[in-house]
């Protein structure tokens, strides 16, 4: 199995449990690792034969920008549900980093791995 990745995708959104967080946008950083088989694309050299990381990025950006979740857990789970259901991805790992949410930490967040239900 091969992996197509998107690293440090930065998106501004409303996220957080505190009142002040509901009134601002914060930048979250996403790393997506998506299982795929690149053999067909490597042989044909055609974009239609692979997972288009640009298309995945555009869809995730549109979703996250409009989202209004409180917890990073909920946002992470919804992003993964979206990718697994809308793209040909049987498994993925998502790292969601809420940047400067905790003073003194370089980042905080969640890492989840999910498979498509068969």
Active site residues: 98
The piece of 11-19, 31-39, 46-54, 59-67 that touches ligand LV4SOB2L (CB under 6 A) is 11-19
Q: Could you give the CA distance from residue 30 to residue 23 in angstroms, rounded to a whole number?
A: 22
Which of these ranges, 28-36, 37-45, 65-73, 79-87, lies near ligand LV4SOB2L under the rule CB under 6 A?
65-73
Query: Is 26:16 a contact under the CB 8 Å cutoff?
Result: yes
Q: List the x/- string, 73-92, binding to ligand LV4SOB2L by CB under 6 A.
A: x-------------------
Angle, helices 72-86/53-66, rounded to nearest 10 degrees: 140
Considering only 24, 39, 55, 71, the residue that binds ligand LV4SOB2L (CB under 6 A) is 71
Report the alpha-carbon distance of residue 47 to residue 90 in Å, rounded: 19
Question: Does 98 sit near ligand LV4SOB2L (CB under 6 A)?
Answer: yes
Q: Give the three-state DSSP class for 25.
A: coil
Q: How many residues bind ligand LV4SOB2L (CB under 6 A)?
A: 9
Please check whether residue 3 is in contact with residue 36, taking contact to mean a CB–CB distance below 8 angstroms. Answer: yes
101 near ligand LV4SOB2L, rule: CB under 6 A: yes
Q: Please name the helix (run of DSSP H) or strand (run of DSSP E) that holds residue 110, with its range, or none.
A: strand 109-115
Q: Which residues bind ligand LV4SOB2L (CB under 6 A)?
A: 16-18, 21, 71-73, 98, 101
């Amino acid at each position: 199995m091969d992996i197509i990745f998107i690293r440090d995708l930065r998106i501004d959104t409303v996220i957080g449990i505190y009142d002040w967080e509901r009134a601002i946008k914060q930048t979250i950083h996403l790393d997506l690792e998506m299982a795929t088989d690149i053999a067909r694309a490597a042989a044909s050299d055609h974009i239609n034969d692979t997972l288009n990381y640009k298309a995945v990025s555009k869809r995730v950006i549109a979703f996250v920008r409009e989202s209004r979740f409180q917890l990073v857990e909920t946002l992470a789970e919804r992003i993964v549900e979206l990718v697994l259901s809308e793209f040909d991805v049987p498994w993925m790992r998502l790292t969601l980093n809420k940047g400067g949410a905790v003073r003194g930490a370089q980042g905080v967040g969640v890492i989840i791995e999910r498979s498509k239900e068969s």
